[in-house]
Amino acid sequence: MTGRQLNRSRISRSCLYGVLILATCGCAYRPTIQHPKSEPIKPEATAYDCGQLDSALLKTDTVRWVIRDDGGTLETSGHRAARYLGNIFLVPLSMGLGGPFYANDAGSAVLDAADHRILELLRLKRAHGCPAGLTSEPGMTDLQMLEKLEPLMPEDGTLDRPALDRRTALLDHLRAPLPPPAVATPPGP
């Protein structure tokens, strides 16, 4: 094998490793049901009473739980930029390997939308003077959690990994411990 052939072989091997590494990004994220992107609060939601707000919170928290349970995580803006850049190379390179393969966002967009919807619902709850609800975070109510979340979820600006991790950890504990399953039951005789 000549030196040039050896170099080519090394380059293609490096490309293949690169493709494989990028392709594994987001592998832990496997949606078992299509994840809808939570919509921002509708104008009519501002007229919700406390019960309706709690119900909407419960539903959005469930959507968020499904995304997390399916492996969804938040990505930093730096990670997103790297992913976009990586995909520019990964997609054409993987075409010859049965692709196209690309690194997905690991559910970051849908999870972020759900997080922000929860934040908005909690703000409405506070604005309406609703009673605070229990959470799984020891010694913290949902309205106290809101105060911790607000600095972690600014309207604009980039966030670092520790801030995203803290926000995720808090929201993972938003709901009080679940009662035993009783919602969907087999009908009686």
Partner 1 sequence: MMRLETGLILVLLTCVCAGCASRAYAPDTASETQALKIRVGDEVRVVTTNRDRMTFEVTKILDDRFAGVTVEPNAKESRPAGVDVEVPYDSVAMIQVTGFDSKAATAAAVGGLIMVTVALGTLVLTGVPVIIPP
Least distance to partner 1, CB of residue 182, Å: 7
Shorter beta-carbon distance to partner 1: residue 19 or 66: 66
* Residue whose CB is less far from partner 1, 66 or 74: 66
Distance (Å) of CA 93 to CA 11, 96, 100: 12, 7, 8
Look at the chain and count its residues: 189
How many whole angstroms separate alpha carbon 67 and alpha carbon 107? 7
Q: How far is the CB of 29 from partner 1 (least distance, A)?
A: 13
* Residue (79 or 105) nearer to partner 1, CB: 105
What phi, psi does 165 have (nearest 5°)? -65, -40
Instruction: Give Cα separations from 74 to 15, 64, 82, 111, 188 (angstroms).
Output: 27, 12, 14, 7, 43
Least distance in angstroms from the C-beta of 164 to partner 1: 22
Least separation in angstroms between residue 87's CB and partner 1 is 22
Q: Where along the sequence are the contacts to partner 1 (CB under 8 A)?
A: 30, 32-36, 38, 45, 52, 55-56, 58-60, 62-63, 65-66, 69, 178-179, 181-187
Specify the residue, 83 or 175, whose C-beta has the smaller distance to partner 1: 175
Q: Which is nearer to partner 1, 1 or 184 (CB)?
A: 184
Give me the least distance between CB of 123 and partner 1, in Å please: 16
Q: Provide the sign of the torsion angle of the four alpha carbons 152, 153, 154, 158, taken in this order.
A: positive
Name the DSSP class of 184: S
